[in-house]
């Protein structure tokens, strides 16, 4: 019997048996499923969803609200907006799926949510190049290394980086159709990398749909802690999808999608326009920030 | 720990703690919800959905399949098609919600699914009239009584009846925009009622969308046992939404929405065209069927 079930509502033994009989009938309806994994998942879906509606003693009006919520989420979803991913995100289900599929391996860098703003075919930059592509925000220099769990460099690892501008929007959220705030590069023969980008800005997830209404109903903020996305791939290594965050960002403890992990929070230093940049780049009188992200890739489980 | 969890996949204590920590963080994010019922529901949704994904060790590809399934269900849903209700139906969640909200009360008639084919403002017929409105199928005479749980008649109870024709379609599924196979009437001063309709025909739920694909993947039939819908209302009594079924219908044990209850399965007698009808109606040479449905209404809980 799930925790909390029937705590405060009197349900007769006859009624409990009737409800349990229905659960068993639904479970048996999946007995003939040819694929054993599909069968196990559908029977688990049945057990957990029936336990949910029985525990809360769901009313018919609440059931209608749930149907309407899912319908609205479906209707706002299109090629540029994915409300079901947002829903999974704000319920922590995206992070839980990532946790399940990226179990901690020794000192490998931790993963976090992929998010809906990655796009294929980002520009390729040389090491030390600029991913911002003219997007607005404070300049930032990011450098680091890519090594394996034994400390050996991973030369040539492909590093994708993408981020919002200082208005809190990604390029794909702007109407101009441009590509900026994203690029990929390859680590050098020592596994080292460096690039210029933007100091991260916090922003809200899209909150003009049913997920936004849900967050308001539960008095939760739609804001994400400021972050810079990374995806790091190299043949023979587990693909790493992660972010880096900003130390002391007040949103770290209240990230709307539960994406923050302590190991991913980085110190950033801030520098006046007059200070010389690490690689001598001329920022034309702009101040700049700087941080370091040392990446550890886990072995690809499928190749062990 | 939910039943079956971690049975066959090794998950380290560190990993379990990491996953459980995430569940606790998501639960706490709802702590500030102003409405206590909303808070309880969202925390229960969180607990049960996280237990589900952890128990099955959901892969990232399966998570994507779930997002696509919900998206497709949203996109096929419109004013005439409700895929999320179908999904709730085939998972037995509609029947479970009905069971929870219509706990058996003494000898009151049992409820079953409402279905998506009810429409407001059906034609009103006199007792003994015909609900079929010209829809095709075998004529059937249905009579019965409406009483309370102590056996007292409920005069004037409003009885709505609706059903598919013998092609398995409701009027709203035909393209002609007509209204047929549905009507309402009022019980007489003794709580008695009688009408002509159609002998029920089994039919599949709409299976050309994601729910149909799901049923095929799990080798389940989309067919519903043959039935005739009723909704009975009277001031002071709990609204009864139910069906009657046909004894010996082979689909009774395999109804795709789990709507069958033994008490709702009725014997129907079959009669030659030459036999005189109970009320002397001239069927112009058609054979006919006959059954009886005695209805017992429960008191309206809100008025106790």
Mark out the alpha helices in chain A (DSSP H runs).
13-29, 36-56, 60-76, 83-90, 93-101, 210-217
Residue with tokens 């009864």: B240
Closest chain A residue to B73, measured at CA: A74
C-alpha span between A288 and B128 (Å, rounded): 86
* DSSP code at position A81: B
**Cβ–Cβ of B218/A54 closer than 8 Å?**
no
ipTM field: 0.89
pLDDT at A109: 96
pLDDT at B304: 47
- Distance from the Cα of A33 to chain B's closest Cα (Å) equals 4
Within 8 A of B34 by CB-CB distance, chain A residues are 219
Of B49, B71, B82, Cβ closest to residue A77: B71
Q: What is the distance, to the nearest Å, from the Cα of residue A169 to the centroid of all Cα atoms in its chain?
A: 16
**Cβ–Cβ of A29/B220 closer than 8 Å?**
yes
Q: Strand, helix or coil at A70?
A: helix
- Distance from the Cα of A21 to chain B's closest Cα (Å) equals 10
Task: Identify from A49, A78, A224, A239 which residue to disrupt to test chain B contact, counting B C-beta atoms within 10 A and taking the largest count.
Answer: A49
Residue with tokens 């569940």: B23
Of B15, B71, B73, Cβ closest to residue A103: B15
**Two tokens at A118?**
């990655």
The predicted-structure confidence for A8-32, as pLDDT tens digits, reads as follows: 567 888 889 999 999 999 999 999 9
A–B CB contacts, 8 A cutoff, strictly below:
207
| Residues, chain A | 304
Q: What share of chain B is helix, strand, coil (3-state, %, to 5)?
A: 30, 20, 50
- Distance from the Cα of B100 to chain A's closest Cα (Å) equals 6
Within 8 A of A259 by CB-CB distance, chain B residues are none
pLDDT at A73: 97
C-alpha span between B205 and A95 (Å, rounded): 36
Residue A6 pLDDT more than 50? Answer: no
Cβ–Cβ contact A57 with B under 8 A: yes
Separation in Å, CA B128 to CA B44, B165, B264 = 49, 19, 22
Cβ–Cβ contact B47 with A under 8 A: yes
* CA torsion, ordered B93, B94, B100, B104, to nearest 10 deg: -130
**E runs forming strands in chain A:** 139-148, 158-162, 182-186, 192-198, 203-204, 223-224, 227-233, 240-246, 265-266, 269-271, 288-292, 295-297
Task: Identify from B218, B241, B251, B262 which residue to disrupt to test chain A contact, counting A C-beta atoms within 10 A and taking the largest count.
Answer: B218
A 139-158 near B (Cβ less than 8 A): none
Of B59, B97, B100, Cβ closest to residue A101: B59
**Cβ B162 vs Cβ B123: under 8 Å:** no
**Cβ A257 vs Cβ A89: under 8 Å:** yes
The predicted-structure confidence for A35-92, as pLDDT tens digits, reads as follows: 999 999 999 999 999 999 999 999 999 999 999 999 999 999 998 789 999 999 999 9
Q: Which of A127, A111, A115 is nearest to A184 (CA)?
A: A127
C-alpha span between A118 and A98 (Å, rounded): 17
Other CB atoms within 10 Å distance of the CB of residue B27: 17
| Residues, chain B | 304
Question: H or E element: which one contains B67?
Answer: helix B60-76
- Distance from the Cα of A257 to chain B's closest Cα (Å) equals 9
What is the mean pLDDT of the segment spanning A146-169? Answer: 96
Within 8 A of B58 by CB-CB distance, chain A residues are 41, 97, 100
If DSSP states are collapsed to H, E and C, what string results for B29-64? HCCCCCCHHHHHHHHHHHHHHHHHHHHHCCCHHHHH
Of B15, B99, B219, Cβ closest to residue A18: B99
**Cβ–Cβ of B219/A33 closer than 8 Å?**
yes
**Cβ–Cβ of B218/A33 closer than 8 Å?**
yes
pLDDT tens-place values along chain B, 304 residues long: 344 444 556 788 888 999 999 999 999 999 999 999 999 999 999 999 999 999 999 999 999 999 999 999 999 999 878 999 999 999 999 999 999 998 877 789 999 999 888 999 999 999 999 999 999 999 999 999 999 999 999 999 999 999 999 999 999 888 898 999 999 999 999 999 999 999 999 999 999 999 999 999 999 999 999 999 999 999 999 999 999 999 999 999 999 999 999 999 999 999 999 999 999 999 999 999 999 999 999 998 765 4
State the average pLDDT for chain A. 93
**Cβ B84 vs Cβ B77: under 8 Å:** yes
Domains, chain B: 1-58 (no CATH), 84-303 (2.60.130.10)
Other CB atoms within 10 Å distance of the CB of residue B8: 6
Q: Is the dihedral of CA B94, A69, B75, B180 positive or negative?
A: positive
Of A38, A49, A82, Cβ closest to residue B91: A49
pLDDT bucket at A2, cuts 50 / 70 / 90:
very low
**Cβ B64 vs Cβ B51: under 8 Å:** no
pLDDT at B64: 95
A 231-290 near B (Cβ less than 8 A): 258
pLDDT at B81: 86
- Distance from the Cα of A252 to chain B's closest Cα (Å) equals 13
Cβ–Cβ contact A20 with B under 8 A: no
Reading phi first (left if > 0) and then psi (alpha if -120 to 50, else beta), residue B253 is in alpha
- Distance from the Cα of B113 to chain A's closest Cα (Å) equals 11
Q: Which of A304, A301, A101 is nearest to B61 (CA)?
A: A101
Q: Strand, helix or coil at A38?
A: helix
Of A53, A57, A59, Cβ closest to residue B93: A53
Task: Identify from A21, A43, A67, A106 which residue to disrupt to test chain B contact, counting B C-beta atoms within 10 A and taking the largest count.
Answer: A67
pLDDT at B60: 93
The predicted-structure confidence for A229-284, as pLDDT tens digits, reads as follows: 999 999 999 999 999 999 999 999 999 999 999 999 999 999 999 999 999 999 99
Of B4, B22, B74, Cβ closest to residue A73: B74
């Amino acid at each position: 019997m799930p925790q909390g079930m029937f705590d405060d509502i009197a349900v007769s033994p006859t009624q409990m048996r009737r409800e349990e009989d229905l659960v068993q009938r639904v479970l048996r309806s999946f007995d003939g499923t040819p694929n054993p994994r599909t069968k196990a998942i559908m029977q688990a879906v049945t057990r957990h969803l029936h336990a949910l509606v029985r525990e809360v003693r769901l009313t018919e009006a609440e059931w209608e609200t749930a149907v309407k919520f899912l319908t609205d989420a479906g209707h706002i979803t299109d090629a540029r907006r994915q409300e079901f991913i947002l829903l999974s995100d704000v319920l922590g289900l995206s992070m839980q799926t990532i946790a399940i599929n990226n179990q901690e391996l020794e000192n490998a860098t931790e993963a976090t949510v992929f998010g809906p703003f990655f796009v294929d075919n980002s520009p390729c930059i040389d090491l030390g190049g600029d991913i911002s592509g003219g997007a607005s925000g404070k300049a930032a220099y990011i450098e680091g290394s890519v090594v394996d769990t034994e400390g050996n460099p991973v030369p040539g690892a492909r590093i994708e980086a993408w981020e919002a501008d200082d208005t809190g929007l990604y390029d794909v959220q702007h109407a101009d159709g441009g590509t900026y705030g994203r690029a990929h590069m390859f680590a050098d023969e020592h596994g080292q990398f460096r690039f210029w980008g933007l100091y991260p800005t916090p922003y809200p997830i899209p909150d003009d749909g049913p997920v936004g209404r849900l967050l308001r109903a539960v008095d939760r903020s739609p804001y994400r802690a400021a972050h810079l996305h990374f995806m790091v791939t190299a043949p023979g290594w587990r693909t790493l999808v992660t972010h880096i965050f900003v130390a002391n960002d007040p949103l770290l403890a209240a990230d709307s999608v539960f994406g923050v992990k302590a190991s991913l929070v980085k110190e950033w230093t801030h520098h006046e326009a007059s200070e010389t940049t690490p690689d001598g780049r001329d920022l034309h009188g702009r101040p700049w920030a700087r941080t370091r992200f040392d990446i550890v890739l886990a072995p690809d489980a499928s190749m062990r």
